Amino acid sequence: MRLPSERHAITHKFEIAGHEGYITVGLYDNGAPGELFVVISKQGSTISGLMDGFATSISIALQYGVPLEKLCEKFEHTRFEPSGLTQNADIRMAKSVLDYIFHWLRRRFLETDADKIKSANLELPKASVDDGTGPPCQTCGTTMLRHGTCYYCHNCGASTGCS
């Protein structure tokens, strides 16, 4: 089902490891998403062109009735650059632009207020007993583990310089 010529939309600004972008979601009258636009800084770049084509394909999928839940399951946790810390307090780390987009879509359109409160109250797991003073990883933000005289990230594999 195509969207009407005039529709409401939501635009969300995001930043992943210094790369800025905007997600715009066109909405059906009932508030359900029906189209997706993704604008990444550096117009004319390969990633910008790929994201434009990908967003068009997601829009077509939504308009043909593919559930947003299934799209989120498929594209969350995809890993490629750019990845890293974000400015969003609800999504602190993104493994890729797709990971960020679909985590945001899930939180915005699929989770209830009770789900958001429940996930906000979950305690983050501790990596190990001896990592209480480890610095946050520069790549992904996870607390690093001591490895000899250096630190190692158990999440992404980054190191503070030791081999």
The residue ranking higher by pLDDT, 14 or 119, is: 14
Average pLDDT over residues 81-102: 93
Domain region containing 158 = 123-163
Are 90 and 133 members of one domain?
no
The answer to whether residue 150 is domain-embedded is: yes
Query: Full-prediction pTM beyond 0.75?
Result: no
86 and 151 fall within a common domain: no
Structural domain includes residue 4: no
> 81 and 37 in one domain?
yes
Asked if residue 131 has pLDDT above 60, the reply is no
What DSSP character marks residue 127? S
Confidence class for position 132, pLDDT limits 50, 70, 90: low
* CA pair distance 4, 26, nearest whole angstrom: 10
Q: Are 129 and 115 in a shared domain? A: no
What percentage of the chain reaches a pLDDT higher than 70?
Answer: 84
Residue 130 is given by DSSP the state: G
Q: Judge if 29 and 79 occupy the same domain.
A: yes
Say if 46 falls within a structural domain. Answer: yes
